[in-house]
Amino acid sequence: MNTRDIAREAVRSRLSQVAVELFRKEGFEQVTFDTLAEAAGVSRSTFIRYFGTKEDAVLSTFDAKGERVVDALRNRPADEDEWAALRHALGILVEEYQQDPVGTLALTRLILETPALSKRQFDKQRRWRPLMAEALAERAGSASPTLPQQVRAAAALDCVYLAVEQWYSSDGTLGLTALLDDAFAVVAAS
């Protein structure tokens, strides 16, 4: 990354922080782009240049998270079975939750309690599935993913979603790592 990219990413991150804080305080539907721009100290057009939708202001990091998961999956040991490789690769997401459990719980609450955000997050994560299946195929030396690889990728993502949902429902008191391990164990046993 060059200096310009670093600066742009810093501005984008700050605008996203302002948006999340405002959405949590005022409610997602009540906040407009004008309100976001004013709170961030930028013009409306500047805010929109960074984020085309209010949903993107909250969920912009999810694409990068998916890329990190796919990269981690590709870099798992070649002799590791696919299910274990998926669990370890998705552990990256759990680590991010554990770095800032209070902030992550608040963000999770905002996302799960706002239908537009919840749907958009689900759509973003659904786009990870074929990339994860392709990474599994690459690990196996295949040109394209098999149906079992696609099913494993989809099931792994559902395990994450359900573990996060349980963690959120417990108000963060349950351990997310243990919940994810339990979810993976249930699928592995079936």
**What pLDDT is attached to residue 120?**
93
Query: Is residue 126 within 8 Å of residue 64, measured between CB atoms?
Result: no
Query: Is residue 62 within 8 Å of residue 90, measured between CB atoms?
Result: no
DSSP annotation of 29 reads: T
The pLDDT tens digits of the residues spanning 11-27 come to 999 999 999 999 999 99
Query: pTM for the complete prediction?
Result: 0.86
Average pLDDT over residues 137-146: 95
| Among the four given CATH numbers 3.80.10.10, 3.30.460.80, 3.30.56.10, 1.10.357.10, the one describing domain 60-189 | 1.10.357.10
Q: What are the E-state strand segments in 17-162?
A: none
- Residue 16: name the closest of 185, 1, 70, 42 by CA: 42
Under the phi-then-psi rule, with left for phi > 0, alpha for psi from -120 to 50, and beta for the rest, what region is 141? left
**What pLDDT is attached to residue 64?**
83
Flag whether pLDDT at 136 surpasses 80.
yes
The pLDDT tens digits of the residues spanning 87-121 come to 999 999 888 788 888 889 999 999 999 999 999 99
Pair of tokens at residue 148? 């079992």
**What pLDDT is attached to residue 60?**
85
Flag whether pLDDT at 62 surpasses 90.
no
How far apart CA 61 and CA 96 sit, in angstroms, is 12
Give the sign of the dihedral formed by CA 159, CA 163, CA 165, CA 166: positive
The CATH class for the domain spanning 3-57 reads: mainly alpha
Domain limits, the chain: 3-57, 60-189
